């Protein structure tokens, strides 16, 4: 079972959905909750061993893999701090967002 | 995609410096009793202010410094296992690596006169099971990442779940695993409330999703699944419902669909209350818990003292076992490997019958604990047997998947959150008794399953 690709977006015209059916939402919600954040996760790259525990427990799934460490997509990270609490190597610290 | 790797985690608060890990390592690696040769070293001592132990062990760094300082190319990071391998035939014994390492993870072995370092015993480290206090853990969650890490997240990047929302975590993992050929039903609750159904022409989900009433989730999804079957399309009918929507007002349609054996996967996210609408009690709210409808304190005229919920929680997963569904299981996001195994079995079972997954989902807002403690609370629930992880199939009966034979006292769980802060000793005793009673009930079922 491999699904290592992105899925094509649903196309109303191709799928022959009648336009008088009912309201059908096809646009992705544009909300990015990164601006809720008061604390930001910062990874110590020297300490990161790429165990993916942060990815596993990140509710937003905003963890992104880099060649030698894991980092966060700050557009969606809400700053909950679960990653910093769970990191087995304590490589993540939460720092206050500057004003 | 790259790769993630297993790692040995050390919890200094649990370590008492007994040295069993070092003895195990020296014995396995060199058949020696000399712990100074062990590749794992525990440093520190017991002081008046308490113990302070530190670990000297190769971390198998993601970006290792030892490999870059080595002039002979004797140290290389294995891209498959993540282990930093030492090649004795290339090593020139300059010991630069021992200076380059910040963790004392590579050191001179005085017996051989050469450096030595941990190789994680080829993925089965001897030190970890040797630790009698659980201070060492071999974290293997990278297996999940290596399999599904680059599968597409089928929810929108931004959902409006609270900070640290366990339900959002569960939804994203679940739908990614179940896949794109899915129709998702989410009755009123946190799941659609955080924007998975969407509004104003936008959607939060990349698969067809609909928003039934609280009462008819299972019935409506059953009809949709049957229509897809009629037109010959293979889909997974997935419901993600809250405990309120499943155990209270949605129960009759859930029970009916289970009894008819409708082919669907019904997942209940049990955050023990109606958290989306303002933390009201549900029939899954445990005894003693504060909610906005089971308040704590004196009534306005002072005549009545309220101390949280006065009834015990309904055990919905056991009720579903009594429907003889194709698959029933309880799970917790703190035990993600267990959850993934159950999810796979449930997906399989939903192709022929009714699969029911009951996942405990601590609610940071409604249960009153800090957002970063979510997994900690979920883990404590299992470690105290407040929540038990088991599964049921008609062939094998009920059995525990992660039995906890030496549970912590339930107070360890209760004190982790604010909704139990007011409990009296009598109430705590009642909860402890209920935990043990629930354990006996599931144990009895499990024993009978084996007898049959």
Question: Which chain A residue has its CA at the smallest distance from B83's CA?
Answer: A49
Residues from chain B contacting residue A7 (CB–CB below 8 Å)? 152, 154, 180, 206
Asked if A9 has any chain B CB less than 8 Å from its own CB, the reply is yes
Asked if A93 has any chain B CB less than 8 Å from its own CB, the reply is no
Contact B63 A68 (CB under 8 A): yes
Domains belonging to chain B, first-starting first, are 7-143 (3.30.70.20), 151-451 (3.40.50.970)
Strand partners, B306: B297
Residues from chain B contacting residue A82 (CB–CB below 8 Å)? 164, 371-372, 374-375
Total CB pairs under 8 A between chain A and B: 171
Asked if A40 has any chain B CB less than 8 Å from its own CB, the reply is no
Question: Which chain A residue has its CA at the smallest distance from B199's CA?
Answer: A25
Closest approach of A22 to chain B, Cα-based (Å): 11
In this prediction the ipTM stands at: 0.92
A34-68 pLDDT, tens digit each: 999 999 999 999 999 999 999 999 999 999 999 89
Closest CA to B251 of B209, B278, B282: B282
Q: Are strands B236-242 and B182-185 parallel, antiparallel or unpaired?
A: parallel
Strand partners, B359: B269, B331
CA torsion sign, B67 to B68 to B70 to B73? positive
Token pair belonging to A5: 């690709």
**Residue B84 contacts by C-beta under 8 Å, 6 or more apart in sequence?**
B58, B60, B61, B64, B66, B67, B75, B76, B77, B78, B117
pLDDT score for A1: 44
Residues from chain A contacting residue B7 (CB–CB below 8 Å)? 49, 51, 88-89
User: What is chain B's pLDDT, residue by residue, as a tens digit (452 residues)?
Assistant: 678 999 999 998 889 889 999 999 999 999 999 999 999 999 887 677 777 888 999 999 999 999 999 999 999 999 999 999 999 999 999 999 999 898 999 999 989 999 999 999 999 999 999 999 999 999 999 999 999 998 999 999 999 999 999 999 999 999 999 999 999 999 999 999 999 998 878 889 999 999 999 999 999 999 999 999 999 999 999 999 999 889 999 999 999 999 999 999 999 999 999 999 999 999 999 999 999 999 999 888 888 889 999 999 999 999 999 999 999 999 999 999 999 999 999 999 999 999 999 999 999 999 999 999 999 999 999 999 999 999 999 999 999 999 999 999 999 999 999 999 999 999 999 999 999 999 999 999 998 776 55
Closest approach of A36 to chain B, Cα-based (Å): 9
Residues from chain B contacting residue A64 (CB–CB below 8 Å)? none
Threshold 0.90, pTM exceeds:
yes
pLDDT level of residue A5 (50, 70, 90 thresholds):
low
DSSP for B177-233, please give it: HH-SSEEEE--SSHHHHTTSS-STTEESBSS-EE---SS-HHHHHHHHHHHHHHTT-
Question: Which chain A residue has its CA at the smallest distance from B158's CA?
Answer: A32
Closest approach of A14 to chain B, Cα-based (Å): 15
Question: Which chain A residue has its CA at the smallest distance from B371's CA?
Answer: A80
**Residue B143 contacts by C-beta under 8 Å, 6 or more apart in sequence?**
B6, B337
């Amino acid at each position: 079972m491999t699904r290592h690709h992105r899925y094509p977006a649903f196309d109303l015209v191709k799928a022959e959905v009648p336009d008088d059916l009912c309201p059908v939402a096809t646009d992705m919600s544009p909300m990015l909750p990164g601006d809720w954040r008061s604390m930001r996760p910062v990874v110590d790259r020297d300490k990161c061993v790429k165990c993916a525990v942060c990815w596993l427990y990140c509710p937003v799934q905003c963890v992104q893999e880099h060649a030698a460490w894991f980092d966060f997509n700050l557009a969606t990270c809400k700053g909950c701090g679960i990653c910093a609490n769970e990191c087995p190597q304590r490589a993540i610290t939460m720092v206050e967002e500057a004003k | 995609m790259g790769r993630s790797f297993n790692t040995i985690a050390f919890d200094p608060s649990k370590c008492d410096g007994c040295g069993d890990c070092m003895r195990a390592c020296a014995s396995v690696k060199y058949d020696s009793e000399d712990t100074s040769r062990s590749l794992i070293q525990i440093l520190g001592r017991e002081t008046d202010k308490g113990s302070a132990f530190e670990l000297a062990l190769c971390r198998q760094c993601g970006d290792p410094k030892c490999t870059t300082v080595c002039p002979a190319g004797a140290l290389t990071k294995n891209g498959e296992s993540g282990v930093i391998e030492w090649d004795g035939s290339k090593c020139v014994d300059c010991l630069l690596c021992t200076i380059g390492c910040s963790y004392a993870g590579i050191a001179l072995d005085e017996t051989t006169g050469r450096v030595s370092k941990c190789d994680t015993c080829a993925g089965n480290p001897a030190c970890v099971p040797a630790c009698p206090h659980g201070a060492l853990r071999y974290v293997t969650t990278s297996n999940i990442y290596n399999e599904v890490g680059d599968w597409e997240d089928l929810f929108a990047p931004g959902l409006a779940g609270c900070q640290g929302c366990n339900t959002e975590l569960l939804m994203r993992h679940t739908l990614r695993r179940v896949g794109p050929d899915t129709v998702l039903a989410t009755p009123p609750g946190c799941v659609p409330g955080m924007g998975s159904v969407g509004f104003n022409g936008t959607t939060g989900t990349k698969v067809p999703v609909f928003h039934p009433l609280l009462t008819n989730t299972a019935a409506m999804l059953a009809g949709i699944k049957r229509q897809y079957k009629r037109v010959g399309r293979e889909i997974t009918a997935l419901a993600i419902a809250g405990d309120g929507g499943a155990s209270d007002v949605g129960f009759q349609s859930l029970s009916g669909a289970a009894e008819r054996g409708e082919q669907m996967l019904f997942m209940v996210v049990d955050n023990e209350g109606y958290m989306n609408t303002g933390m009201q009690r549900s029939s899954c709210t445990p005894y003693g818990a504060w909610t906005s409808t089971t308040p704590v304190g004196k009534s306005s005229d002072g005549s009545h003292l309220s101390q949280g919920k006065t009834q015990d929680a309904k055990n919905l997963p056991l009720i579903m076992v009594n429907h003889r569904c194709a698959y029933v299981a309880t799970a917790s996001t703190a035990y993600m490997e267990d959850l993934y195994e159950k999810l796979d079995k449930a997906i399989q079972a939903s192709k022929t019958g009714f699969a029911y997954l009951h996942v405990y989902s601590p609610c940071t807002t409604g249960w009153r604990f800090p957002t970063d403690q979510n997994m900690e609370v979920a883990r404590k629930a299992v470690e105290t047997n407040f929540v038990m992880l088991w599964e049921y199939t008609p062939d094998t009966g009920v059995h525990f998947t992660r039995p906890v034979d030496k549970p912590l006292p339930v107070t360890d769980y209760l004190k982790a959150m604010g909704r139990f802060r007011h409990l009296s000793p009598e109430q705590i005793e009642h909860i402890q008794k209920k935990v043990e009673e629930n354990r006996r009930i599931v144990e009895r079922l499990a024993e009978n399953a084996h007898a049959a």
